[in-house]
Amino acid sequence: MRITEFSHPRLAQAFVDYMATQGIRLRLQAEASRVSLWLDDVSQQSRVEQELQLFVANPDHPRYQAASWQSGTTRSGLQYAGSASILANLRARAGGLTVSVIAACVLVFIWQQVAGDGAVMMWLAWPADPAQYMEVWRWFTPALLHFSLLHILFNLLWWWYLGGAVEKRLGSGKLLVIALISALLSGWMQAKFSGISFGGLSGVVYALMGYCWLRGERDPHSGVFLERGLMAFALVWLVIGWLGMFGLSIANAAHLTGLLVGLAMALADTTRLSDRRNR
């Protein structure tokens, strides 16, 4: 679970050292010019957030300096992102559903390389006619299809980055709902726009972009967010797709629909949360 971030690494280190003396292990991860704090044991969230408020109010208190001296000699268990294996870092951010979808996409991609895209799409593509409407999986499985290495890497990196954060902070149920609704609606719109020969997780990814960005803007305490610069990049890429630049084959309708779905879901969730708080 992502707890908070600091612009000064030494402050982050001091808080991690202090929590280590309290028997709670936090990890540091470098993110551009900032450092984020991650908690592995979610049951300790309330305790950590209480201690964080005290720390932010008075970071120069002697108890934090003493903790740094103590943990420096007794081993705090601090683990930097750079010192862990790639798989450990992947697991630290991703929950079971996030990893399962990644595995499913990779397995389907391998299947496509062995059997060919056409053979796999016979089983997983969007329903071609009413006779296939009762094959319920087809309404969702186009999201598992990818047609190049760059295609699957781009989508899975975003899915891991955003889906993992949603699952860790809001739960697997919330991520599942976002994924299923956005896969269904973005697929339906893309089928209307270009026919059934499409695939990819990007409709879901754009839904997560919209959801995380608006959720972070309206409910910053949720811990779910997307930096405004990355959101701007997503919008620019959306425009590039609609203009047909670079000669790329892009599922524009799926992207736009996914983005709108994610924004709508974030707006609904934060509105309900605000209503409960105001009662």
User: Per residue in 171-191, pLDDT tens?
Assistant: 999 999 999 999 999 999 999
Boundary residue ending a domain (57, 84, 111)? 84
Give the end of a domain, one of 84, 110, 130: 84
Residues 58 and 99 grouped into a single domain: no
Query: Does residue 108 share a domain with residue 45?
Result: no
What number of other Cβ atoms are within 10 A of residue 262's Cβ? 29
> Residue 18's domain spans which residues?
2-84
Q: Are residues 37 and 125 in the same domain?
A: no
Residue 65 maps to which CATH number? 3.30.70.2350
Q: In this structure, are 69 and 105 located in the same domain?
A: no
Q: Considering the domain boundaries, does residue 57 fall inside one?
A: yes
Beta strands in the chain (DSSP E): 2-6, 26-31, 34-39
Which residues are part of the catalytic machinery? 202, 255
> 182 with 60, same domain?
no
The last residue of one of the domains, among 84, 116, 136, is 84
**Sheet containing strand 34-39, strands side by side:** 2-6, 34-39, 26-31
Residue 46 within a domain: yes
For the chain, what's the residue count?
Answer: 279
Q: What is the pLDDT of residue 79?
A: 43
* Model pLDDT for residues 27-62, shown as the tens digit of each residue: 887 766 678 888 877 778 888 888 888 887 777 777
The burial of 21, by beta-carbon neighbours within 10 Å (0-12 exposed, 13-18 middle, 19 or more buried), is given as middle
Which of the given ranges, 25-29, 65-69, 207-211, has the highest pLDDT on average?
207-211
- Encoded amino acid at 236, one letter: V
Closest C-alpha among 253, 244, 178, 257 to residue 215: 178
Confidence band, pLDDT 50/70/90 cuts, at residue 87: low
Helical axes 149-158 vs 96-115, angle rounded to 10°: 170
* Cα–Cα distance for residue pair 6/9, rounded to 1 Å: 7
pLDDT score, position 67: 63
- The angle at the Cα of 58, spanning 221 to 217, to the nearest 5 degrees, equals 20
Quick one: 141 and 76 in the same domain? Answer: no
- Residue 61 within any structural domain of the chain: yes
The count of domains in the chain is 2
Residues 63 and 141 in one domain: no
Q: What is the mean pLDDT of residues 119-131?
A: 95
Q: Are strands 26-31 and 2-6 parallel, antiparallel or unpaired?
A: unpaired
Which one of 51-65, 76-90, 115-129 scores highest in mean pLDDT?
115-129
